[in-house]
Amino acid sequence: MRAYLIKAVLLVFSFIPLPLSHLFGNIIGWLLYLVPNDLKRISMINLRLCLVSRNPSSRRQLLRASLIETAKTAAELGPLWRWRKQRIMDLVQEVSGEKQVNQALAQGRGVVIAAPHLGAWEMVGLYCSLRFSMTSLYRPPRMQELDLWARTARERFGARLVPTDMSGIRALYRALSQGEAVGVLPDQEPAMGNGLFAPFYGIPAYTMTLLHRLVSRTGATIFYTYAERLPMGKGYHVHFVRGQPDMNQLEQRKALEAMNYNIEMCINAAPTQYQWSYKRFRKRPPGEAGFY
């Protein structure tokens, strides 16, 4: 029943302009800020851990703005999952760094689009699938009833979604060997055995080793990518930020530190649009108490 309700809400949002969707997101975000809920609680914990230099008042302001942007992420799903190609492309008001991506692809070693939970990451997948041959890791939603809808929406412009298992990893290597682009969420906490602890805003965070393995074996270039949400529902600014050119030559732990540092730099450019409600520090080093 809940899945059908979500589908109905997304369908309604797909029939209204993006500024109106974001306005509803603004209202929902304010409500999330005013009433007790897990999104608010987890966000406050993460902000307190990561932004220790900010005073409590500044963190509260950022918390409110972050919850509003999180609500906009949900509200814009209807348009992004259902609108046609040209209408989606019309939402992109500015793009930075795409010339470098094309230059890297021209070298034939492939490109890794590392899209953290920042801004409209659904827009990143759609835009990149319209511009490049794209293979991305895909983890089905918890509600199985939404799986087909989400997959169809994300693949409708030519993207190829592969599972987060060995078959999917092999598909990423094949795509890179053919000089194509692959998509990964670099700040997603991996399963035990697939990561190492590395600093993220100075806090040990269990960090995936996949990106380092991909670039070490293929020579691919990493671009940290996010779609910055513009005010008043005016659309998006897509950013491609090139990672360290020598990451494939770094020792693994140093490479993970560099990766998290690059993600931090992207977040610092638009801190209100990061998903602070994600339990980034769920896994802890042995003997260390949990945060959540």
Say if residues 206 and 196 touch (Cβ distance below 8 Å). Answer: yes
- The predicted model gives 106-127 an average pLDDT of 95
Give the tokens for residue 36.
Answer: 């007790």
pLDDT at 9 over 80: no
pLDDT of residue 30: 97
The backbone region for 129, taken as left when phi is positive above 0, alpha when psi lies in -120 to 50, beta otherwise, is: alpha
- Is 197 part of any domain? yes
- pLDDT: which is higher, 147 or 253: 253
* Single-letter amino acid code for the residue at 174: R
Q: How many whole angstroms separate alpha carbon 133 and alpha carbon 31?
A: 40
In the chain, the percentage of residues whose pLDDT exceeds 70 is 99
Strands (DSSP E) found in 201-285: 203-208, 221-229, 236-242
Q: At CA 20, angle to CA 73 and CA 124, rounded to 5?
A: 35
- Report pLDDT digits (tens) over 38-80: 999 999 999 999 999 999 999 999 999 999 999 999 999 999 9
Confidence band (pLDDT; 50, 70, 90) for 156?
Answer: very high
Pairing of β 134-138 and β 160-163 = parallel
**pLDDT given for residue 144 in this prediction:** 77
Residue 133 structural domain? 85-273
Q: How many domains does the chain have?
A: 1
pLDDT reading at 179 higher than 80: yes
Across all residues in the chain, what is the average pLDDT?
93
Assess if residue 38 is contained within a domain: no
Quote the pLDDT of residue 244. Answer: 78
Does residue 263 carry a pLDDT above 70? yes
**Bridge partners for 62 per DSSP:** none
Strand partners, 205: 198
* Mean pLDDT within 157-183: 94
Structure tokens at 26: 């603004």
Residue 33 lies in a domain: no
* Residue at 77 is within a domain: no
pLDDT higher than 80, residue 84: yes
d(CA 67, CA 47): 12
Q: Which residues pair with 160 in a beta bridge?
A: 135
> Which pLDDT band holds residue 218 (cuts at 50, 70, 90)?
very high
- Does some domain include residue 282? no
Hey, is 223 helix, strand or coil? strand
Q: Which residue has the tokens 């380092």?
A: 212
Q: Report the predicted TM-score, pTM, of the whole model to 2 decimal places.
A: 0.94
Tell me whether residue 226 is in a domain: yes
Tens digit of each residue's pLDDT (9 = 90 or more) over 266-276: 999 999 999 99
Q: Is residue 232 part of a domain?
A: yes
* pLDDT at residue 1 in the model: 65
CB 257 within 8 A of CB 182: no
In the chain, the N- to C-terminal Cα span, in Å, equals 29
Q: What stretch of H or E contains 264?
A: helix 252-269
β-sheet bridge partners, residue 183: 113, 136
